[in-house]
Amino acid sequence: MSAALERLAELLPPGRLLVRPVELAAYESDALTAFRTRPLAVVMPETAEEVIAIVRLCHELQLPFVARGSGTSLSGGSLPIADGIVIALNRLNRILKLDPVQRISVVQPGVINTQVTTAAAPFGLHYAPDPSSQTICTIGGNVAFNSGGAHCLKYGMTSNHVLGIKAVLATGEVVEWGGGSRERLGPDWCGLFVGNEGLFGIALEITLQLLPKAECFHTVLAGYRTLEQAGDAVSAVIASGLLPGAIEIMDALALEAAVAAVHAEYPPGCEAVLIVELEGPREVVTIERERLDAILVASAPVEMRPAHDADERMAIWKGRKSAFSAVGRLSPDFIVQDGVVPRRKLGEALRRIAEMSHETHIRVANVFHAGDGNLHPLILFDGRESGALQRAEDLAGRILKM
């Protein structure tokens, strides 16, 4: 392995080749900290040419590599391979092009998700995919995992917004697919590459679709006495024919975490809150909000709180988007599931998760995209206790089987 390190040292200066144990510690896992592996080294390229040279060297030496962005994955996406290297892409962080007429942006993989919207905002545009970690996660990681977010109900996933990719494959071959338009012939190689979890290669440049910012928003937070009531309210909203930009649910444990982390304010005495957001032209939202408010009133919430201005809207979303990281205040460890149930079964699924949690004496916090039935049960445990991880994984298996 010393020969591999010598060859890598020829490509990068010492400050961008990390080999000491104290330097490697931060790269042993992603946000799924229950699983760790120490890599041989971490390399920190600053240009696409350096990435290509590193991948070609890995191919020559048969040296395993894993690409990494900000390490926010909750499923082991950037877990290193023993005796392999980690290619950290955070320094490839430039927005190479932003064309407001064509409504596209070309970015390097280390660009942070929210930076794209910030750059596009002066032109009345935004980048739609908004994962909870969007203030720190990178576009390269979003591409690898086909990330969604709270507004994927209306706008879809990352794959719906990637128009072109320049990538280096594991062989060292550089490929370019797509471009600045959706008009193309032949296989959709971009669609195949997005969501490959880094197994096909490394994206070097990504062409993103930008969308006009919505003219108007109507955001409502409703509190419920039970999770099942909140789930049933979601079913009623969808059955009405409304297509909100987002529908999210947080349960009591997630609310407790969000209050502790960002001092979010929620109706007292609630087991769950539902966040529904309408967006679009002002005339359309004005009509739809009347229908939505009537549906929510009929679902018998403890309290309804519409956002009256942009600050109140952002406060509602700050609590929701902080929930995953905030759970760390309640438990030293957690594992998260990512399963889907039919929307009409949401209430039943939540009730059964609560029953399993009670049976096993393992706390489960629920935060999820209610609009498409995408559940994220956060199973809390203390990894320092013998057998705790196994018990948590057993419960996770029961939930997924259900």
pLDDT tens digit sequence for 215-242: 999 999 999 998 888 988 988 998 898 9
The secondary element (H helix, E strand) that includes residue 258 is helix 252-262
Residue 325 has pLDDT above 80, yes or no: no
- Report residue 202: phi and psi, to 5°: -120, 125
315 and 395: one domain?
Answer: yes
344 and 396: one domain?
Answer: yes
Angle 344-346-351 from CA coordinates, rounded to 5°? 130
For residues 378 and 394, give the distance between their C-alpha atoms in angstroms, rounded to a whole number: 13
Write out the two tokens for 50: 């350096």
Distances 329 to 290, 326, 332, 333, 381 between C-alpha atoms, Å: 38, 6, 7, 10, 12
235 and 145: one domain?
Answer: no
Q: What is the pLDDT of residue 1?
A: 60
70 and 132: one domain?
Answer: no
3-class DSSP assignment, residue 250: strand
284 and 176: one domain?
Answer: no
Residue where a domain stops, chosen among 66, 88, 110: 88
- Ordered DSSP codes for 365-379: EEEEEGGGTEE-EEE
User: For the whole model, what pTM was predicted?
Assistant: 0.90
222 and 177: one domain?
Answer: no
Q: What is the pLDDT of residue 12?
A: 94
What's the CATH code of the domain at 355? 3.40.462.10
pLDDT tens track for 297-314: 999 999 999 999 988 898
What's the CATH code of the domain at 126? 3.30.465.10
For residues 333 and 378, give the distance between their C-alpha atoms in angstroms, rounded to a whole number: 10
Residue where a domain stops, chosen among 212, 231, 263: 212
Average the pLDDT over 74-97 and give the result: 95
62 and 134: one domain?
Answer: no
Distances 51 to 13, 58, 66, 190, 303 between C-alpha atoms, Å: 14, 11, 12, 20, 53
237 and 279: one domain?
Answer: yes
Residue where a domain stops, chosen among 188, 212, 236: 212
Would you say 44 and 18 are in contact if contact means Cβ atoms under 8 Å apart?
yes
Q: How confident is the model at residue 268 (pLDDT cuts 50, 70, 90)?
A: confident
For residues 161 and 137, give the distance between their C-alpha atoms in angstroms, rounded to a whole number: 16
Residue 324 has pLDDT above 80, yes or no: no
129 and 275: one domain?
Answer: no
Q: What is the pLDDT of residue 321?
A: 79
pLDDT tens track for 151-193: 888 899 999 999 999 999 999 999 999 988 878 788 999 999 9
148 and 55: one domain?
Answer: no
178 and 238: one domain?
Answer: no
Residue 138 has pLDDT above 80, yes or no: yes
Write out the two tokens for 301: 């919430």
The residues near 15 (Cβ < 8 Å, ≥ 6 apart) are none
- Ordered DSSP codes for 32-79: -TTS----SEEE---SHHHHHHHHHHHHHHT--EEEESS---SSSTT-
Total number of domains in the chain: 3
Read off the amino acid at residue 263.
H
For residues 239 and 229, give the distance between their C-alpha atoms in angstroms, rounded to a whole number: 15
378 and 268: one domain?
Answer: yes
pLDDT tens track for 28-62: 999 888 889 999 999 999 999 999 999 999 999 99
Can you give the residue range of the structural domain that contains 199?
Answer: 95-212
